[in-house]
Structure 1
């Protein structure tokens, strides 16, 4: 009997992640013409977060291996200038496994925003989870489409977590959302 685990899901995740990230990084913003912005500027956003792979002292764990986790981030950004801002994000996480689903965790995610130009933003967030874990999450974000009332974005969060008698972990995810 073969004891090796199938790698189809892992390879599919890797390829999809690389493709989405490269496309979002290489594509320019398209859509509505730029209008002058006055500061401070406040906007809100909602999105869908898909953790892809988590690394810790154990072997990597991939989403869909035994369970599926999805997050629904909602937040408020307050931009002081085009280069610096503050953000508060709230993320309920839903876990589906064995034919049932439940809210498995809730994340409070405050942090600083750094406008990098050309539609890119770096968010540096602290992380406090109801699961007892804490840490930080750097996020690189790219606006991929602008319209008059909203913008669409793709982001790559990289949560680093500690605590709750578990080994330190690093996760790579992909997030899609709308800013309004």
Structure 2
């Protein structure tokens, strides 16, 4: 083998190795479907699918600083169908931090600012279910806590699933 061929072969091996490693910051996007299941406040307990139907469409960008910590920005339009009338009821701005917990689990701690005048925070536990070379599918449990706009504080438990790319 010639020296040039050997050098090309060595460079090829090293360049392949470097491309297979994750480079930070790493940027990913995602889209999901969110179903709030139950919302509890001092005034009432409301159950989705029984009292009304509500759905949200979380869309966001994650910027991973390293393999353990990142920043996320999410926007969630919410639609509600109540007694035959449906409309966009809210737009949620949802920035937060991401902490990789291992084994496909991630914690997201998000601040919440709603166009309805409510605000609060949302802890989210996320689990990657299927991971491929081009995308991954995930399920999450968001637990929103909200205040403001002359309503009592509320707590919601929800279920979210989606695709990240």
TM-score (norm 2): 0.86
Residue 49 of structure 2 is aligned with which of 58, 64, 68? 64
Structure 2 CA distance, aligned partners of 1:120 and 1:171?
Answer: 21
Q: 2:25 aligns with which of 40, 45, 60?
A: 40
Dislocated runs of 4+, deviation >4 Å: none
1:100 is displaced (CA, Å) by: 2.6
Pairing partner for 2:71 from 86, 89, 94: 86
Q: Distance in 2 between matches of 1:62 and 1:36?
A: 45
Q: 1:117 aligns with which of 102, 112, 116?
A: 102
User: What is the aligned-residue RMSD (CA, Å)?
Assistant: 0.9
Query: What residue ranges of structure 2 are gaps of 5+ in the alignment?
Result: 1-19
Aligned to 1:6: none
Q: Number of paired residues?
A: 146
Select the structure that is richer in strand. 2
2:138 counterpart of 1:153 = yes
Alpha-carbon distance in structure 2 between the residues aligned to 1:105 and 1:97: 14
SS across alignment from 1:48: strand
1:100 aligns with 2:85: yes
- Give the whole-Å Cα distance in 1 for the aligned partners of 2:117 and 2:68: 33
